[in-house]
Amino acid sequence: MLRQGARPALAHTQNIARQCRRSTSSGIWSTASSLPPSEGSRSASRASEPNSDNRKARRALKREHRFKKAPRTWGRLGEPETEARLRDMIQTKAHSLQSAEKETFLMDRFEAESESPSGLEDVEILPGSFIATRRNNITTLGIALGSEFQAGREAIAMFTPTGEVWYPFHDDVTFVLPAFISSNLTARCGLGEVPGNDKELSARMEVLKRLRELVHKLESQSAGRYLDSDIWKKFRANDPNAWGEIAVGDVARMISEKPQFDTIFAAHLFLMDDPLHFVAKHPYLITQTFNVRPQTEVQLISKVLQWKREDDKRLTRFAAKAKPIIAKNSQRIKESAMSSPTYEEPEKTPWNEDDKTILRFLQLSLRQTRSNQADPFLIARAAIMRMLDPTHPLFTEADVARLLVNLGVFSPWQDLLAIQYPNTEPEYDPASPVLARQERIAERSLLHRPQSGAPIGPEDFYSSDPLEPVRHDFGDLPVFVIDEPTAKELDDGVSIEPIPSEPGSYWLHAHIANPTATLPPTHILAIDALKQGETQYWQHHTVPLFPTSIVQHPDLGWSLGTQKGEPTKTITFSGKINGDGDLVDYKVRAGLINNVRVVTYDAANKILGYDPVASNNLRRPIGGPKVNVVEVVEVPELAKKELDDLQALHKVAQTIQANWCRTYVAHPSTDQAAVTYGDFPSGSMTPSLGGRTYEGFPEFRDFVVRSADSSQKGSMGIVQEVMRVAGRVGSMFALEHKLPMIRRALAPPVFLDQALKEELQAIRTPAGTVPSWRAVTNMAGVYAPQYTFSPDEHFHVGARAGEGYSRMTSPLRRALDLVGHWQLHRALLGKHADSPKPMFDVDWLDQFRVNFGITEGMWRKLSKNHTAFWVAQFLDKWMKGEVRGEGFVPYDPDKVYYGHTMTKGWPMWHQTGRAYTVEVPELGVVGSLQTSLATDFRFGTKVSMKLSRIDLKLKPVFEFSLADSEANYAQPFTP
């Protein structure tokens, strides 16, 4: 579906200004004469003169293939742009095969997930905007003509200086100049790859002329004329091991006090073309900022690149030493695959300092990179790998990781995601300096409480509960805290009260832990929490937002149910739900709860009579030790009133879900696989350059696939629906009291027509879910959620426009919720408040919103890939017959799995044929189907497949091949 200019230009201008205000660069359109240096970086005014040595080294690095400027795609400029030449360019491109650059740019674009999970609204790209794009080391410029949904994602129709129309995704755009071409002229260009008539051809000729003139001007502008080659030294962090930060605006203002567009663009290119020193900070189009690589890392990369360039004997000596070690270790690991995991430290390391430099280089090369910049590790890494295995056709991240396992740097069970920046704790370490610092601060804060009225220091808690004057005592009302048995941060409880005068109506209460009754925002632990963003959950350990000694302290009662002998303090969000499931009234109160009942999900499900296994919402398709085993679930003894309350909560949750289905169509979801595994030796998840020897592998204890809507059923469904009501209530309370508040918004999916809507309504579950492949087939596009201040619609949680939705229910685990609680304080206190102003103003909240969105998106991507990595580890071991664990069925290479295509096909790197993203419900994975077919399948085509290979990359790939003859798929068909 193509569209042009869905929103007015004024909205775009306001959006750009808002993005620039909150950006760490103060915005690329800002003309301020100066900017304070970023925290942790040196001032731009610091003297650092270039010398002959570093000039020579820089010139040498520029000669490396990957340090050349990304290939430009607009050909030769500067010739007279005659009418005949312009017409010929457009018509030639329209009637010929796409250029090699375009094909490379578009390669694997459907395989890559959206790189913008930050929750920040995108910079809107309206028709007529000049844009720069980068992908797969291909750079091009163009004019945005409109947009098109492709496989559920919005692609931009971009008219390039060569007369082609490309379709980059929003993630590929790195630079925008709004309104370069008038909306009227842009509209006359049309949106197809080929001009539809003479009118469109004429308009494109005029646009092409202006575009090529601009590009020629930009090509003549070079930041190198004004910037010395040591700019990295001026902005790198003082700590040689720390990352710094630099904004495009900072560099542009080094060229001109009031930089214009061409100067800003030149600064952008200067930084983007130097990935050795500067790494674009995601989401780059919003931040317009680069992370500055640490000094030690730059030196290490430069050293290895120099060795490679000069064919230094240190590389060949390393390869000669490594080969026998690889052979010996790989054999040991293979032979011990079914043994318990162990490792030994050598009496003497086999590696000298040069060897360790190479090993460290290879380890650092296993870092998540984005497609908009070149990878500075790639060339030297490939050369080293080629020395070790000259016959290997193509080296991937999985090959490098396997090499480091065989060299004793990684354990065979190394989690590649756990060692990614910014995670500094790959595993639990009781001697961790970060942990020790937190515990020391916690201990001092608990020992010293300031006197009432005394100034609060950075390690001081409040002298007393600031909300004490207005707390509402909920008496003996049963409050159910429902969570996993291993949960440590119990921050939400639910309760229900019928309304006798209104049969079928109830008050639902979400009682949320209240750390802000103790913790002021000026406390060191609070500041640390705001930076960390959220608790980090790994399969093998947890990095909490707050020290456990504070969260579990019996005198503070942060975690619900831990405080003994005293009422537990909460902030309680209450929603009145009528018999139709509508939210018709609300209250927010500082609360006291006295009757806390901690119940596990399994125990609550047993009380409700819901069995996830019997209902096929939890499956074990590969067997395992828990198949056909009746697990003993410890159910607490509850009074009849409490049992009735649980049943009532379940009923109301289902009523709310039914209400959602009357309002909305469906939301896409996929079945998800997960594994659990046993222990491994302490210290073995942390890489070592000492030359360890490893044996064995952890035992796998379970492999499960949860249905797409499993979280919306039984006890999980109760908690989910009550927390969604709480978020809507929190937003409406903030609106009522005129509090600036960060909200989460999500527009409903876009449908092609009414018939496709009705198809989804017919197959959706009672909770409204449909398989993702059906969504791709029937929906034109699905939007990403965004953080905003306005009370916009959030269709997924049922929040209507004008209500809004604010995250308030996890203050022990998520910094955003903590900020929301502080923001409510003065409104809750009313006449008891010391000031009518809220705690945080809009500017502070806006900057926090950006920082939190970036951090949350980064952790979410790590977490998603971490779960997928362990599923891939299991399936890889299973295919090799090396799964440690009881009851798993053997791998059958002829086993057929059924799935559906979710994308168009894309050409595969270094191979013929096409690849497709496929949803495979039986295994709970989204994989890659590789075929030799040149014809595209339609979205949602049902295919029969065999699991053929696992690629254990940072983003694991589950590879499938067609199980039946490709002749059956010679033409696309509708399933």
Can you tell me which residue has the tokens 């009881």?
886
Q: What is the mean pLDDT of residues 472-497?
A: 96
Mean pLDDT of the chain: 86
Q: What pLDDT digit, counting tens, does each position of 675-723 carry?
A: 999 999 999 999 999 999 999 999 999 999 999 889 999 999 999 999 9
Yes or no: say if 158 and 102 are a contact pair by the CB < 8 Å rule: no
Q: How far apart are CA 697 and CA 877, in angstroms?
A: 10
Candidates 616, 612, 608, 683; CA nearest to 651 is 608
Mean pLDDT of 181-202: 92
Secondary structure of 495-542 as H, E, C letters: EEEECCCCCCCEEEEEEEECHHHCCCCCCHHHHHHHHHCECEECCCCE
- Confidence label for 296 from pLDDT (cuts 50, 70 and 90): very high
Q: Which residue, among 633, 295, 654, 283, has the nearest Cα to 484 in the 3D structure?
A: 633
pLDDT tens string 761-789: 999 999 999 998 888 888 887 888 999 99
Rounded CA gap, 872 and 894, in Å?
Answer: 19
DSSP label of 171: G
Position 958 pLDDT exceeds 70: yes
CA 838 from chain centre, in angstroms, equals: 31
The per-residue pLDDT for range 298-309, each reduced to its tens digit, is 999 999 999 999
Q: Phi-psi category of 665—alpha, beta or left, where left has phi over 0 and alpha has psi -120 to 50?
A: alpha
- Domains along the sequence of the chain with CATH: 83-223 (no CATH), 230-293 (no CATH), 433-671+707-863 (no CATH), 892-969 (2.40.50.140)
More confident position, 84 or 68: 84
Strand partners, 965: none
Q: pLDDT band for 907, please (50, 70, 90 cuts).
A: confident
Across the range 443-451, mean pLDDT stands at 90
How many whole angstroms separate alpha carbon 269 and alpha carbon 131?
13
Distance CA 723, CA 706 (A): 21
Least confident of 313-317, 816-820, 833-837: 833-837
- In one-letter notation, the amino acid at residue 644 is D
β-strand pairing of 750-751 with 618-619:
unpaired
For residue 280, the model assigns a pLDDT of: 93
Quick one: pLDDT at residue 47? 30
- The encoded tokens of residue 643 equal 């049992």
Contact between 339 and 695 (Cβ < 8 Å): yes
In angstroms, what is the C-alpha Rg of the chain? Answer: 29
C-alpha triplet 148, 153, 156: angle, nearest 5°: 40
Task: Return the exposure string of 799-809: e unless at least 16 CB atoms fall within 10 Å of the residue's CB, then b.
Answer: bbeebbbbbbb
Position 542: which residue type? T
Using CA atoms, how far apart are residues 34 and 548, in angstroms rounded to an integer? 43
DSSP line for 637-700: P--HHHHHHHHHHHHHHHHHHHHHHHH---EEE--EEEEEE----TTTTS--SS--EEE--PPE
Hey, what are 935's tokens?
Answer: 């014809």
240-285 tens-digit pLDDT: 999 999 999 999 998 888 888 888 998 999 999 999 999 999 888 8
Q: How confident is the model at residue 222 (pLDDT cuts 50, 70, 90)?
A: low
pLDDT confidence of residue 426: 92
Q: How far apart are CA 190 and CA 148, in angstroms?
A: 13
Closest CA to 482 of 332, 615, 593, 636: 636
- Distance CA(633)–CA(473), nearest Å, equals 33
Question: For residue 113, what pLDDT is reported?
Answer: 52
Q: Provide, rounded to the nearest whole percent, the portion of the chain with pLDDT above 90.
A: 65
Q: Give the residues across from 542 on adjacent strands.
A: 537
Judge whether residue 98 has pLDDT over 80: no
Contact (Cβ atoms closer than 8 angstroms) between residue 319 and residue 384: yes
Rounded average pLDDT over 89-97: 66
pLDDT at 933 over 70: yes
